[in-house]
Amino acid sequence: MKFYAIIVAGGAGKRMQTAIAKQFLLLNEKPVMMHTLQAFYVSEVEPEIILVLAKADHEYWKELCVKYNFTIPHTLVEGGNERFHSVRNGLMTIKEDGVVAIHDAVRPVVTTSLITQTFKTALEIGNAIPCVKPSDSVRELQDDGSSKIINRDKLVLIQTPQTFDLGQLRIAYQQSFSTQFTDDASVVEAAGFPINLIEGNRNNIKVTYPEDLELASFLLKNNIPG
């Protein structure tokens, strides 16, 4: 059985308030997504890594790999207009059957144990989507400007890696793009496949705001699992 990981790196630095895309920001002396690729490379399943990146950033990434002596093998693929198109571009490079994980490049604290668990679960039952329960109270905003409380026990927060049998994913990505596709699980669900949730990890944070970078640095330095 072949294992693959598609790392999606299409984000910009708007909410980080930086001129550089967040996947290239330095985290403990090397770019964020180098930590991400390394987590998959050293995992038990040892997947083939496919990095999907905007074409305009390919040369810059290659320069960074030289600068930081980053030698983890990976295939570089051109990104698309939306995440949906980027994932599909990465998927098209895979010619064999197997299991594939799709992961945000800016989740650098992901643990090898979570990676392995998603692959094992997807191998058994078709897919595995990690999630955590919200710890804060949740309210839904109404059209009139008011809000109402929502039972947080009925909600989960979705993470990556989202891992799938390649047969499922290929069928799902034959669909046309929809704004309703917020992640890969929503694409697969729209194709008629049931979604299997597994327990994620609260420290598997997505670097979106400046304080996220500080937290990721602390977690990595102290070897706290994400």
Does 29 reside within a domain? Answer: yes
**CATH at residue 188:** 3.90.550.10
- The answer to whether the peptide bond before residue 108 is cis (omega within 30 degrees of 0) is no
138 in a domain, yes or no? no
Could you tell me if residue 136 is inside a domain?
no
pLDDT, tens digit, 9 for 90 and up, residues 190-207: 999 999 999 999 999 999
3-state secondary structure the chain: CEEEEEEEECCCCCCCCCCCCHHHCEECCEEHHHHHHHHHHCCCCCCEEEEEECHHHHHHHHHHHHHCCCCCCCEEEECCCCHHHHHHHHHHCCCCCEEEEEEECCCCCCCHHHHHHHHHHHHHHCEEEEEECCCCCEEEECCCCCEEEECHHHCCEECCCEEEEHHHHHHHCCCCCCCCCCCHHHHHHHCCCCCCEEECCCCCCCCCCHHHHHHHHHHHHCCCCC
Based on the structure, what is the number of domains in the chain? 1
Is the pTM here over 0.85, yes or no? Answer: yes
168 domain-assigned: yes
Q: With bands split at pLDDT 50, 70 and 90, how would you rate the model's confidence at 222?
A: confident
pLDDT digit string, tens, across residues 73-98: 999 999 999 999 999 999 999 999 99
